[in-house]
Amino acid sequence: MSSLPSYASPLQRTWHYTFRVICGLIFFFLVFPILVIIPLSFNAQDFFTFTPEMLALDSAGYSTKHYVDFFTNPDWQKALQNSFMIAPTATLLATVLGTLAAIGLSQPHVPFRSVIMAILISPMIVPLIIAAAGMYFFYSRIGLQGTYWGVVMAHAVLGTPFVIITVTATLVGFDNSLVRAAASMGAGPITTFFKVQMPLILPGVVSGALFAFITSFDEVVVVLFLGSASQKTLPWQMFIGLREQISPTILAVASIMVVLSVVLLTVLELLRRRSERLRGVTPA
């Protein structure tokens, strides 16, 4: 399939190229909506579509005013600040808890392993609206609703399953005799963990942490319910903006976030390669 043999019939040839065109269209469908907002965010008008000036590539049709608005408008700046206050703390919590859970669950003697696993993974599967509603009722009773720590804890809960999954995956390739070797040479469990196990499972931990970060950074449903105005995050501000007063500043924010996700994607790809190198698997 990857390359046509020289004896291919005309029909096979036609299908071969038709199939590629179809796939090309699907890739276009996947990427076009994301890429189209980048040029649109430089629109000099407050429209959500290409103006004739923009199509004529006239420099008068383009401006950075939406970006200027994002960086000077106090609402957006507060939201950005809140996002960067909440996401790292939630990520830290999720990473520590998730890594510990994954290591614990990888031990063969843990009873009810699959049940515990299912419960810990469930925040990823349960519809967000249900998780948000449940947390809202529960957190209001214990006074966490509308507080910074309430939002952080809720986001940590949502991020933990990703850390558990990625760390569990790296632990599959982890050789447990290394731990025994370290112990036999007199290292305590804590030293063994930080000096032997941690460096080897680090790629899994970091990619889990990235997932947890993006979960918190991108999360809007839970924060809508649990947060008060002083925890308004970037996605919240975008959600309000999209629902009520549509302002083109959203496109500028969206473009910045696309660039951010490209950076994240690159980091993850580099991590994956490093992990494969460490395990001695050479990419084909």
The yes or no reply on residue 177 touching another protein (CB under 8 A) is no
Indicate the angle between helix axes 234-243 and 74-106, nearest 10 degrees: 120
The yes or no reply on residue 40 touching another protein (CB under 8 A) is yes
Alpha carbons 251 and 74: distance in angstroms, whole number: 17
The yes or no reply on residue 143 touching another protein (CB under 8 A) is no
Q: Are 96 and 205 in contact (CB under 8 A)?
A: no
Q: Are 20 and 27 in contact (CB under 8 A)?
A: no
| Binding-residue total with another protein (CB under 8 A) | 69
Alpha carbons 106 and 168: distance in angstroms, whole number: 7
Q: Residue 167 or residue 182: which is nearer to another protein going by CB?
A: 167
Alpha carbons 191 and 193: distance in angstroms, whole number: 5
**By CB under 8 A, what part of segment 202-261 binds another protein?**
207, 211, 214, 217-218, 220-221, 224-225, 235, 238-239, 242-243, 250-251, 254, 257-258, 261
The yes or no reply on residue 121 touching another protein (CB under 8 A) is yes
Alpha carbons 50 and 89: distance in angstroms, whole number: 40
Alpha carbons 121 and 206: distance in angstroms, whole number: 18
For another protein, the binding residue among 10, 188, 280, 283 (CB under 8 A) is: 283
Q: Residue 41's closest CA among 254, 261, 234, 263?
A: 254
Smallest distance, another protein to C-beta of residue 246, A: 8
For another protein, the binding residue among 4, 26, 60, 178 (CB under 8 A) is: 26
Residue 83 burial by CB count (10 A; 0-12/13-18/19+): exposed, middle or buried?
Answer: buried
Smallest distance, another protein to C-beta of residue 199, A: 22
Smallest distance, another protein to C-beta of residue 43, A: 10
For another protein, the binding residue among 154, 165, 212, 226 (CB under 8 A) is: 165
The yes or no reply on residue 116 touching another protein (CB under 8 A) is no
The yes or no reply on residue 194 touching another protein (CB under 8 A) is no
Q: Residue 131's closest CA among 95, 147, 155?
A: 155
Alpha carbons 58 and 51: distance in angstroms, whole number: 10
Q: Residue 152 or residue 241: which is nearer to another protein going by CB?
A: 241
The yes or no reply on residue 30 touching another protein (CB under 8 A) is yes
Alpha carbons 111 and 225: distance in angstroms, whole number: 36
Q: Contact residues for another protein (CB under 8 A)?
A: 1-2, 12, 15, 19-20, 22-23, 26-27, 29-31, 33-34, 36-37, 40, 47-50, 114, 117-118, 121-122, 125-130, 133-134, 136-137, 162, 165-166, 168-169, 207, 211, 214, 217-218, 220-221, 224-225, 235, 238-239, 242-243, 250-251, 254, 257-258, 261-262, 264-265, 268, 272, 283-284
